[in-house]
Structure 1
Amino acid sequence: MTRVYLACYKGGRDWTGWQNAWPYLKARTADYLIRLFTRGPYSHCEIAVSDGGRQYRCYSSSVRDGGVRLKTMPLPSAKWDLIPLPPETAAHAAYLYEQTRGAGYDWRGALGTVLRLRQSGTRWFCSEWCARALRLPGAWTYSPNALAARMRQPDF
């Protein structure tokens, strides 16, 4: 049975790969600032689809990967919180991915969740992409923390 989750990133990166100091420092700083300005534990989110194994097909838009992408990866509980979603979300995410694959990361839109700037029409940030896959109105207004809070509400 396919299980679908909103995967919310809460963990810091470990020190492996610290030899590439600049990308590591940039990613850690971005994580910290997102958590600080959105007042919550999460700095990133994904739509994660599990077929029962330890790996998940993860759909999102990622700073580290340059925009909209599909990536298979583990989601260890020390770094990720998984919020159950309706099973039909998997089909919505796959469809949206086909429509947006390769689109760039929307820095302006990500900042807009705090500064109330308008998002790009051709680029995506993580929580905007996930909210659109969930068919939420005003997808561009969600930060990772706001989206997690919304998905935990009983009326979803």
Structure 2
Amino acid sequence: MVRLALYKGRGKLGNRITRWWTGSIYSHCELVVCGVCLSASFMDGGVRAKQIDLDSGHWDVIPLPWADVAQVLAFFEQTKGRAYDWLGLFRGQLFNRGGRDGSKYFCSEWCAEAIGIPAAEMYSPARLGELVGFVRDRGR
């Protein structure tokens, strides 16, 4: 199963700026597959896999039973090592402009694209969490 993990810990300056700008408690997101976190991280330099303690109280986790594990893993293999997309983050989140080059990613963009959500560059961690929470609740 795929899960979306949303970071609500204090974090560093970039986390605080993201929370302030988006008006949310969330500043980062990861997809979790088989206990491994997959995402694009500015702290780690781009797309990577990482073991993270999601039970630290700093994360909210939403199950995505409709998400395709094979699709997420294939997307990770295709994009691992790609750089963090600062320009795309500013373009999509600060200036509300779509468009992306596909060679770099920011966290919520990477997660949204990995699970097949269109216009992935337009999602902040909070907006992505709202969308998948809505989809989850509609399926009940």
Same fold by TM-score greater than 0.5:
yes
Q: Residue type of the partner of 1:4?
A: V
Residues 108 and 119 in structure 1, CA contact (< 8 A), matched pair in contact too: no
1:84 to 44, 63, 66: 63
User: Equivalent residue for 2:106?
Assistant: 125
User: Equivalent residue for 2:132?
Assistant: 151
Number of equivalent positions = 135
Residues 38 and 114 in structure 1, CA contact (< 8 A), matched pair in contact too: no
1:38 to 1, 15, 22: 22
Q: Which runs of 5+ in 2 are unaligned?
A: none
Give the deviation of 1:75 after TM superposition. Answer: 0.7
Give the deviation of 1:114 after TM superposition. Answer: 2.6
Q: How does 1:4-43 map to 2 (within 5 A)?
A: 4-13=2-11, 28-43=12-27
- Give the SS at the match of 1:31: helix
In structure 1, distance between residues paired with 2:72 and 2:47? 11
Deviation per CA, 1:101-142: give whole Å up to 9, x if none: 100000111122231244332100000000001101101100
Give the deviation of 1:61 after TM superposition. Answer: 0.3
Name the % identity.
41
What is the CA RMSD across the aligned residues, in angstroms? 1.6
Give the deviation of 1:72 after TM superposition. Answer: 2.0
When the two structures are superposed, what TM-score results if normalisation uses the length of structure 1?
0.80
Q: Residue type of the partner of 1:49?
A: V
In structure 2, distance between residues paired with 1:121 and 1:4? 23
Worse-superposed segment, 69-78 or 92-101: 69-78
Q: Residue type of the partner of 1:134?
A: I
Give the 3 Å change call, closer, same or farther, for CA 102–108 of structure 1 in structure 2.
same
Q: Residue type of the partner of 2:10?
A: G
Q: Residue type of the partner of 2:94?
A: V
Q: Which runs of 5+ in 1 are unaligned?
A: 14-27, 51-55
Residues 10 and 16 in structure 2, CA contact (< 8 A), matched pair in contact too: no
Give the deviation of 1:143 after TM superposition. Answer: 0.4
2:93 to 98, 109, 113: 113
When the two structures are superposed, what TM-score results if normalisation uses the length of structure 2?
0.88
In structure 2, distance between residues paired with 1:49 and 1:77? 18
